[in-house]
Homo-oligomer: A and B are copies of this chain.
Amino acid sequence: MDEKLDLFYNRRSVRKYADRPVSDQQIEQLLKAAMAAPTAMNLKPWEFVVVRDADQLEKLRKISPFSNINAPCAIVVCGNLGVFKRPLMERFWVQDCSAATENLLLAATAFGLGSLWCGLYPIKGMIKSVSQHLELPGSVIPLALVFVGYGAEEKPARTQYDANKIFRERYSDKW
């Protein structure tokens, strides 16, 4: 029964990558998974900028000490707030795009690729830098910088399951 959890346990944050490219077809598989995530009112506010050009990757690596990663591909997951026709409809865009990002990471794992999620939103400086490098319009907010590639480090599968984080019916009753 537990083998169904392998995919989740095998997804680890990979920070060292092999010098081996990722193809258009591979990227499309990952984005098919990403765009299968649920979104509030099915509004699908996500957009994805795929970066493999050496100069562009170098710019992204420099936006923070945590993004100095040698992967051959970065996918910037963005929310396009322009899809929301009425105020208040955009309140779930971070959740929607985060679910898509998690699907992307898990699909990378399924296809034998490593991945790393670097948070951008709501850090203003990183949003500004990435928006400039990718020439994003003002209505498109970069949420996450995801590195993808063949891993050059091994990490054991794991969960961080902790029964102390679970409650039964109400917060006073521990699991």
**Residues of A with Cβ closer than 8 Å to B?**
1-2, 4-5, 7-9, 11, 13, 28-29, 31-33, 35-38, 40, 42, 44, 46-53, 56, 91-92, 94-95, 98-99, 101-103, 105-107, 110-111, 117, 119, 122-123, 133-137, 140, 143-144, 158-163, 165-172, 175
Pairs of residues from A and B, 3 with the lowest C-beta to C-beta distance, nearest first = A98-B98, A99-B102, A8-B36
CB distance from A48 to the nearest CB of B (A): 5
Known contacts A32-B5, A56-B169, A102-B99: A117-B50 contact under CB 8 Å:
no
Q: How many copies does the complex hold?
A: 2
| Residues of chain B within 8 A of A11, CB atoms compared | 36, 38
Known contacts A137-B171, A158-B36: A31-B166 contact under CB 8 Å:
yes
Main secondary structure of the interface of A (DSSP, over half): mixed
Q: In the complex, what distance in Å separates the CA atom of A56 from the CA atom of B99?
A: 27
